[in-house]
Amino acid sequence: MPASRADDAHRIFSGIGATYERAGALLSFGQDARWRERLVSLLDAGSDDAVLDVATGTGLVARAIAERYRCQVVGLDRSADMLGAAAARDGHIPLVRARAESLPFPDESFDHLTFTYLLR
């Protein structure tokens, strides 16, 4: 993504962590939970697997994966505000502030990678 578009996306999602989930539910006419469940159900993770949820936002997908598969999940997002909201809801999932274009992990650190709204 060009730097200006990435910066625009960062500005949009900074400062809305506290209201993001409510806004997402309203804007999707309540379908966001269904979409999230569908994504999680398509993942074939085992309890020994590691999953990276890129653009984790408030961590809804990361939490759903951890609850369903009892595996290691790491949430990654560029927005400190979103990660703050994720941490406030669940202190058990490791959260990393970084850009999707420059993951701070060695190759093959994860068995699965998920994202929902990364490519806006």
Report the CATH number at residue 80: 3.40.50.150
> Which pTM value belongs to this model?
0.77
* Count of all residues that appear for the chain in the document: 120
**Residue at 91 is within a domain:** yes
Q: Are 95 and 66 in contact (CB under 8 A)?
A: no
Q: Are strands 72-77 and 112-115 parallel, antiparallel or unpaired?
A: unpaired
pLDDT score at 50:
99
Question: Is 90 inside any structural domain?
Answer: yes
> Which pLDDT score, from 0 to 100, does residue 120 have?
46
DSSP SS3 for 49:
coil
Q: In which band, very low, low, confident or very high, does the pLDDT at 107 lie, cut at 50, 70 and 90?
A: very high
Q: What domain range includes position 106?
A: 3-115
59 and 45 Cβ atoms separated by less than 8 Å: no
- What is the band of 116 on the pLDDT scale with cuts at 50, 70, 90? confident
Q: How many domains does the chain have?
A: 1
Residue 54 lies in a domain: yes
**Residue 120 domain-assigned?**
no
**CA count, 13 A, side-chain hemisphere, 34:** 4
Average pLDDT of every residue of the chain: 82
Strand extents, DSSP E, the chain: 50-54, 72-77, 95-97, 112-115
